[in-house]
Amino acid sequence: MVLYGEGYGARIQKGGGNYKANGVDFMLFDVLIGDLWLERCNVNDIAQHLGIGFAPVIGEGTIAEAIDMVAFGLTSTFGIFGAEGLVIRPKTELRTRRGDRVISKLKTRDF
């Protein structure tokens, strides 16, 4: 089992204090077991059992709607400041012909 996530907080990166003013934390966003990526509900369940945070689902919609959300300014779920962006993935997992997952990140700084 491989847990994928990100450390955050005041001592992690520039601006990290926006996410956690005192100290650091970890947020889980994906779990791989063998060659199987777990579904979102199972990732959240593992995070809860381990007592760690998990990345929030911001919403469901089209790619165009996600682009609009990021391009016109998206407020972070951590506070009143701009979000870094969105990770977007299809509701039903899709793979390329080579077996790679179809997943993307829209970054605010790109707009």
Query: In the 3-class helix/strand/coil scheme, how is the chain assigned residue by residue?
Result: CEEEEEEEECCCCCCHHHCCCCCEEEEEEEEEECCEECCHHHHHHHHHHHCCEECCCCCCCCHHHHHHHHHCCCECCCCCCECCEEEECCCCCCECCCCCECCEEEEHHHC
- 74 and 100 both lie in a single domain: yes
Residue 22: what pLDDT? 76
For residue 87, the cross-strand partners are 105
- 64 and 45 both lie in a single domain: no
Contact yes or no for 67/48 (Cβ under 8 A): no
Residue 17: what pLDDT? 58
- 65 and 31 both lie in a single domain: no
> What is the domain count for the chain?
2
CA distance 88 to 44: 17
First-last CA distance in the chain: 36
Residue 2: what pLDDT? 96
- 45 and 72 both lie in a single domain: no
- 43 and 62 both lie in a single domain: no
This prediction's pTM: 0.79
Residue 81: what pLDDT? 79
Residue 34: what pLDDT? 94
Q: What are 18-69's pLDDT values in tens digits?
A: 666 677 888 999 999 998 999 999 999 999 999 999 988 888 999 999 999 9
- 2 and 48 both lie in a single domain: yes
- 63 and 75 both lie in a single domain: yes
Residue 75: what pLDDT? 85
CA distance 86 to 64: 13
- What range defines the domain where residue 30 resides? 1-55
Find the mean pLDDT for residues 76-104.
88
